[in-house]
Amino acid sequence: MKISVRQICFILIFYTAASKFLQYPPMLSAYSGRDLLFSALFGFAADCAAIWAVAFLSSRTDKTFYELLKDNLGTVAARIVYGFFAAFFILITILPLFEQKQFVHAVFYDTTPPMWVFLPVFLFLVYVSSKGFTNIGRCAEVCMPIFILMTIALYAMSFGEAKFSNLLPLFKTPLPQILGGSLRTSYYFAEPAYLLMFMGHYKYKKHDAAKLTLSYAAGAVIVLVFLALFYGIYAGIASSRQFAITKTALFFSATEMVGRIDLLALYVLETVMLFALVLNIQLAVHCIKTCSDFEYPEIISLCVNAVLLIILTVFNHDYTAIRRFYAGWVWIAVILFTIVIPAAAWLLKRRRDET
């Protein structure tokens, strides 16, 4: 087997959290205000259900999702679905990539550097995304201690400044607005689609569905705690605080004595964020490789990253417009690929069992 359940659990805990530390908190604050925790909770709850559904489906079959599609719908349909999945993974990479670029420019440099400073990341993306599931799993294992140590350090530095009463009273925001916030930030939630891709590549054992779902829930808890910390510190102005994780430990009292050690922790945590980002591209490459039968993932990776580089260069100054587009439309694709298709996959399997 190429990837183990433990490795997937690590992905679900650490990548889930790491991918939501930058712009997710301020955006959620903008839509849902002090009830941002409920907005996030809706998103996580829906994904938890989808993850459980996919994990449970894995217990019924040893086949990959592609093989399942091929058996039920035929090769052409399976290829089309995988083609769409590849497009989906590329789509949900674009905004985080822009966010990463903005984050790097804002946090790693005192003065805004030229755009090319960010471009070396593509060497990393091209190399790592051409690797298979073994690489994905093992990278997650390396990221585990990094994430735990750095997150604990950053949380510890932030905790003293958070005033959690800022989150009260609860449910002050109208429910449609809370749900709207959840929907408009849903492009940060692609984990059920990851699990769908891993299907058949790991050996399912008893209680693994519970393990996977609980791992995702653990990742959700880390994010919820961070959201509470973030809103607890900034309250009403939280929506204007870009790159949330860089702002929470700002007021740590020892900074004066020891320097911005929070920045050092952030730089180390950035490694995990990069692996969380590259996972989408790795899965896009996997989908294209599977549906095209093309044997050279290096070339596919090169092409996918070339597309991303072109988009990044062409829309270099249009981050706000892209973000608006994602908030307005991309949630439809997210719901389709992370909720509807996993549910439909489960139905497919049952139908085949009955026949």
Q: Confirm or reject binding of residue 139 to another protein (CB under 8 A).
A: yes
DSSP secondary structure letter of residue 112: P
Q: How far is the CB of 14 from another protein (least distance, A)?
A: 13
Alpha carbons 56 and 337: distance in angstroms, whole number: 17
Nearer to another protein, 32 or 135 (CB): 135
Single-letter amino acid, residue 329 = W
Q: Binding of another protein at residue 257 (CB under 8 A)?
A: yes
Q: Is 115 in the site for another protein (CB under 8 A)?
A: no
CB of 148 to another protein, least distance (A): 13
Count CA within 13 A, CB hemisphere, residue 332.
3
Among 276, 4, 277, 278, which Cα is nearest to 143's? 276
Binding of residue 6 to another protein (CB under 8 A) = yes
Beta carbon nearer to another protein, 175 or 258: 258
Q: Does 117 bind another protein (CB under 8 A)?
A: yes
Report the alpha-carbon distance of residue 157 to residue 192 in Å, rounded: 32
Stretch that binds another protein, among 31-39, 113-121, 235-243, 343-351 (CB under 8 A): 113-121
- Tell me the angle at which helices 341-354 and 65-73 cross, rounded to the nearest 10 degrees: 60
Q: What is the largest CA-CA distance in the chain?
A: 70
- DSSP character string of 299-340: HHHHHHHHHHHHHHHHTTT-HHHHHHHIIIIIHHHHHIIIII
Q: How many residues does the chain have?
A: 355
- Region from 2-10, 50-58, 88-96, 191-199 binding another protein, contact rule CB under 8 A: 2-10
From the list 62-70, 127-135, 149-157, 171-179, the region that binds another protein by CB under 8 A is 127-135
Query: What's the DSSP call for residue 328?
Result: I
258 sits near another protein (criterion: CB under 8 A): yes
Told to check if 123 binds another protein by CB under 8 A, we report: yes
Q: Is 18 in the site for another protein (CB under 8 A)?
A: no
Q: How far apart are CA 195 and CA 203, in angstroms?
A: 13
Does the protein bind another protein through residue 121 (CB under 8 A)?
A: yes
Interacting residue with another protein among 142, 152, 310, 344 (CB under 8 A):
142
Residue 263 binds to another protein (criterion: CB under 8 A): yes
Is the separation of the CB atoms in 287 and 197 below 8 Å? yes
Among 274, 285, 291, 330, binds another protein (CB under 8 A): 274
* Residue count, binding to another protein (CB under 8 A): 39
Q: Prior bond to 169 cis, omega within 30? A: yes
- Sole window of 31-39, 141-149, 202-210, 331-339 interacting with another protein (rule: CB under 8 A): 141-149
Of these, 165, 256, 353, 355, which contacts another protein (CB under 8 A)? 256
State the number of CA atoms in the 13 A half-sphere of 68 facing the CB: 29
Per CB under 8 A, contacts with another protein among 184-223 are: none
The full DSSP string for 205-246 is -TTHHHHHHHHHHHHHHHHHHHHHHHHHHHGGGGGG--SHHH
Q: How far is the CB of 24 from another protein (least distance, A)?
A: 21
User: Please, which residue, 92 or 269, has the CB nearer to another protein?
Assistant: 269
CA 223 to chain CA centroid, nearest Å: 11
Q: Shortest gap between Cβ of 255 and another protein (angstroms)? A: 8
State yes or no: residue 131 binds another protein (CB under 8 A): yes
Which range, of 4-12, 79-87, 191-199, 303-311, touches another protein by CB under 8 A?
4-12
Q: How far apart are CA 286 and CA 12, in angstroms?
A: 19
The footprint of another protein (CB under 8 A) covers 4, 6-7, 104, 108-110, 113, 117-118, 120-121, 123-124, 127-128, 131, 134-135, 137-139, 141-142, 145, 256-260, 263-264, 267-268, 270-271, 274-275, 278
